[in-house]
Structure 1
Amino acid sequence: MNESKYQDLGLLFLRASGALLLLWVHGLPKLLNYSEQLKLIEDPFHLGATITLSLAIFAEVVCPLLILAGVWVRWACVPILAVLLIALLVVHPEWTLFEAQFGWLLLIVFTTLLISGAGRLVLGQRQPVNP
């Protein structure tokens, strides 16, 4: 296996692990418990709970699914990074590094994907056959 295939496997692993963690830990609970989450969600920019929760669900459900599939990966990272930065710097500025470590790690993962892109192992991408 050549170096670029290892890089593509690494990017696939990074995409899948980051996207699934965000989806499972944050996105699905918001989506599946929508009514309860409307009462709990922080609204730092006073957009209203419905809009704020909808934007969070977009960033934490739709965007991870796009990233997992390898579709519009760089664009899909932008809303995720926005939600993470808002959570870490605006909503929870009092959190210590220990308390916010999961958020910072996700920030690292999705910033890396923003910089690197998806790699070649994406949904719908045909790989050349080597004889």
Structure 2
Amino acid sequence: MSLSSTDWALLFLRVSGCLLLLWVHGLPKLLNFSRELTVIEDPLHLGAWTTLGLAIFAEVLCPLPIILGVLTRLACLPILAVLLVSLILVHPEWSLAEGQFAWLLLIIFVTVLIAGPGNLSLYGRLPGRRPAPAWLT
């Protein structure tokens, strides 16, 4: 299999976007869980525990399969949901400049959702695996 510059670009986009999300948002929530419970906004009225748990799921667990290129499109959905809730419900007063990091993450993960993981992904390289349907990778 020959790899194109698009495959390398998608790998770079997946890994860099996920590492930014993990480093800036996910790990601080996970490592400071008790403090985060007292400050997290709860726009959907699910309770602080549930809201923080969903945010950690989206910002810590979902980036891992995306980095590997496994269930990539599916793993983008919770991330996009958290970003949209943040931009629309939690911080609707933000100007474009104030919300630029969230908008850039939204652009990155929508691009990954549309394009998929590219050929540099773990799924499909595992022995005995049939190629995954496009919507699942």
- Give TM-score scaled by structure 1 length: 0.91
How far apart in 1 are the matches of 2:74 and 2:121? 15
**d(CA) in 1 for partners of 2:52, 2:74:** 20
Q: Which runs of 4+ in 1 moved over 2 A?
A: 123-126
SS of the residue 1:103 aligns to: helix
Cα deviation, 1:4-55, whole Å, max 9, x if unaligned, reads 5211000000000100000000000000000010001000011000000000
Find the aligned partners of 2:111 and 2:29 in 1 and give their Cα distance.
Answer: 25
- Residues 1:108 and 2:103 are matched in the alignment: no
Query: 1:77 maps to what in 2?
Result: 76
Show structure 1 runs of 5+ residues with no match: 127-131
Match of 1:51 in 2: 50
Which position in structure 2 is the counterpart of 1:7?
6
Match of 1:120 in 2: 119
Report the equivalent of 1:64. Answer: 63
> TM-score normalised to the size of structure 2?
0.87
Identical columns (%): 65
Aligned length in residues: 125
Contact 2:70–2:123 under 8 Å retained in 1: no
Report the Cα distance in structure 2 between the residues aligned to 1:44 and 1:124, rounded to whole angstroms.
36
Aligned residue for 1:91? 90
List gaps (5 residues or longer) in structure 2: 126-137
* RMSD across aligned positions (CA): 1.4
Once structures 1 and 2 are overlaid, which stretch shifts more, 115-124 or 94-103?
115-124
Gap change, CA 1:91 and 1:33, over 3 Å in 2: same
In structure 2, the residue matched to 1:34 is 33
Q: What is the aligned partner in structure 2 of residue 19 from structure 1?
A: 18
